Amino acid sequence: MRWICAFVTMRWTCAWTTLAATGLAAPAQEDLWSLPKNAKPIPATRGEMKQALSDLRDAKPRLPLPPDDGSGKGVNNGRMRAFYVPAELRGGGVGGFGFSKGKKPEELDKKDQADFTFNTKLFWIVCRVNNCQYCLGHQENKLASAGVPEDLIAALDGDWSEFSEKERAAFAFARKLTFQPHLVGRDDIELLQKHYAEAQILAMISSIAGFNAMNRWTDGLAIPQERHRDFLTPVSAKYQDKTSRVALLPDRQGLLPPAARRPAPPQRPEIDQALAECRKQTTWVALASEEAARRLLPEEAAAGPVPNWVRLYAAAKNEGRIKGYYLLADKGSLDAKLRAQINWIAAHHDRAWYALGQAEQRLRQLGETPQAIAALAGAWDQFAAKDQAVFRLVRRSTVAPMTVSDDDFVALRREFSDTQVAEIVHRICEAAYFNRVTLAAQLPLEP
């Protein structure tokens, strides 16, 4: 089932009438599609991109960067996560991809080297779409270390004729799942099935979702690039001035291209209809049995039927993320209601109906009224100012992470401690992962 947000005038009128009757008419959307004046530019060519990666070494992070170990070769992302994210929230969290098994590319066997290089190419594409220059720089270094020639790395930016049909199918899927997750449907999976087995597709989806999560952490916090990395290496004449066909390049007014602009998400009763459709859809994945999945549940998991997302994660061998999901639900310094609201708003803007159904169930368990849940669709003036600051960052990070600005974090740091701000970003990252995995699997919502 693919949910396409195209509603006739009569349906929109009915939805707005329903909302107005309850005092929940949605306000005008803020401009999500224009790059703020202080946003990082989105480089158009390879030469410009390399300069941008080099310049990122002087970036000012949005939370203070912890001191390094004195070697000058530490990883800034790891320092930020270790310093700001409590250990209890890191289980199964972003960054736990495990492609290299903790080894350098040259230390892997041939199959693992091939898998490492392939996944790094996918990561490169996701970073380019999201304009996450920190992660993009790391993928540049990894590909070069794995022996990928400069021109082949440059070809990732749009000249995919250099790659096999099998790789091109994966690249196109990675780009679509990154900025148009709401449009990913069964036909996209069928294209992949021509080249990949089910287990490979599941691993690919999990990887791409994880890359999107990581981008929202490193770029959201504006983590500076490590100074020891060198990006100003020569570019061949063939690629020096070739314009990217992967990045979402803005026009002269700073507006993102039309393809990157999602339509406004639906309100009630369209949301209820989408949830009903989600309950009826069938997944293409062979989910793990309830018995096998139950063995992976932590002690704090509620009794009763095993949720479909657990069976999906078990099938994809994502056992660590099962634990991580429950930790995120039960641990942390943020109010439990705010945690669930973050998940709801992110799912709403991704049109990730399974994820939204899960968040809605959690909000009901916490005592939220139907009216308060419906207000999350945009009628935010009834919420406290500190909550609205969080909601705005969730919305912007979800639909156009390259437009997150310093101003978003100034507003948050007035209301929350730096550790809480980091936790907010961490939860946005995890929502980006959960939304994409459950969307791409077309996971049915439990009755």
Domain CATH number, residue 408: 1.20.1290.10
| Long-range contacts, stretch 163-169, CB < 8 angstroms, 24+ apart | 165/195, 166/195, 166/196, 167/118, 167/121, 169/194, 169/195
Taking 50 as the threshold, does the pLDDT of residue 134 lie above it?
yes
Residue 433 has pLDDT above 60, yes or no: yes
Average pLDDT over residues 207-216: 96
Of 42 and 30, the one with more pLDDT: 42
Examine the domain organization and report whether 196 and 288 are in the same domain.
Answer: no
- Calculate the dihedral angle through the C-alpha atoms of 175, 178, 182, 183, rounding to the nearest 10 degrees: 0
14-18, 136-140, 258-262, 265-269, range with the lowest pLDDT: 14-18
The phi, psi pair for 255, rounded to 5°, reads -90, 135
Q: What is the mean pLDDT of residues 232-255?
A: 94
pLDDT given for residue 110 in this prediction: 65
Token pair, residue 120, equals 């790094």
Given 260, 275, 291, the domain boundary residue is: 260
Average pLDDT over every residue of 422-428 = 97
Q: Are residues 153 and 284 in the same domain?
A: no
| 3-state class (DSSP) for residue 243 | strand
Do 100 and 175 share a structural domain?
yes
Average pLDDT over residues 70-80: 80
185 Cβ contact partners less than 8 Å away, ≥ 6 residues apart: 1, 2, 442
Model confidence at 109, in pLDDT bands (50, 70, 90)? low
The predicted structure's pLDDT at residue 29: 52
The secondary structure of residue 441, as a DSSP letter, is T
Distance CA 408, CA 296 (A): 38
pLDDT at 5: 37
Query: In whole angstroms, what is the distance from residue 251 CA to residue 42 CA?
Result: 11
On whether both 176 and 316 belong to a single domain, the answer is no
Whether residue 268 is found in the same domain as residue 381: yes
> Per-residue confidence at 20, pLDDT binned at 50, 70, 90?
very low
pLDDT at 159 over 90: no
Q: Which domain holds residue 185?
A: 46-68+76-260
**DSSP secondary structure letters along 102-134:** TS-GGGS-HHHHHHHHHHHHHHHHHHHHHT-HH
pLDDT value at position 21?
A: 36
pLDDT at residue 117 greater than cutoff 70: yes
Average pLDDT, the chain: 88
In this model, does residue 96 exceed pLDDT 60?
Answer: no
With respect to residue 8, please indicate whether it lies within any of the assigned structural domains: no
List pLDDT tens digits, range 364-395: 999 999 999 999 998 999 999 999 999 999 99
Does any domain span residue 288? yes
With a pLDDT cut of 90, the percent of the chain lying above it is: 77
Q: pLDDT-based confidence at 11, cuts 50/70/90?
A: very low
Domain identity same for 412 and 370: yes
Q: Are residues 119 and 251 in the same domain?
A: yes
> For residue 6, is it within any domain?
no
Q: Is residue 272 part of a domain?
A: yes
Does some domain include residue 3? Answer: no
User: What six digits make up the tokens of 13?
Assistant: 């009128």
Query: Per the domain annotation, does 15 fall within a domain?
Result: no
CA 275/CA 189 separation, integer angstroms: 22
- Report yes or no on 39 lying in a domain: no
Same domain, 244 and 291: no
Q: Where does a domain end: 227, 260, 293?
A: 260
**Rounded Cα gap, residues 197 and 366, in angstroms:** 41
Q: Kindly state the average pLDDT of the residues 1-28.
A: 36
Look at residue 122 and tell me whether its pLDDT is greater than 90: yes
One-letter amino acid of 310? V
Q: Is residue 168 domain-shared with residue 290, that is, in the same domain?
A: no
pLDDT at residue 94 is higher than 50: no
Exposed/middle/buried for residue 139 (C-beta within 10 Å: 0-12, 13-18, 19+): buried
pLDDT of residue 19: 37
Structural domains counted in the chain? 2
Is the pLDDT at 14 greater than 80? The verdict is no
Both 277 and 384 in a single domain? Answer: yes
Quick one: which of 346, 391, 348, 396 has its CA closest to 32? Answer: 396
Question: Residue 438 — pLDDT band, cuts 50, 70, 90?
Answer: very high
Q: Which residue has the tokens 């952490």?
A: 217
* Same domain, yes or no: 173 and 107: yes
Q: Which of 21-30, 51-60, 100-109 has the highest mean pLDDT?
A: 51-60
Q: What is the pLDDT of residue 284?
A: 97
pLDDT at 60 over 90: yes
Domain end call among 260, 290, 311? 260
Would you say residue 155 has pLDDT above 90?
yes
The answer on 281 and 168 residing in a single domain is: no
- Beta carbons within 8 Å of 246's beta carbon, 6+ residues apart: 125, 128, 129, 156, 157, 158, 175
pTM, rounded to two decimals: 0.91
> Is 86's pLDDT higher than 90?
no
- Model confidence pLDDT, tens digit, residues 280-338: 999 999 999 999 999 999 887 878 899 999 999 999 888 888 988 998 988 999 999 99
Is 18 within a domain?
no
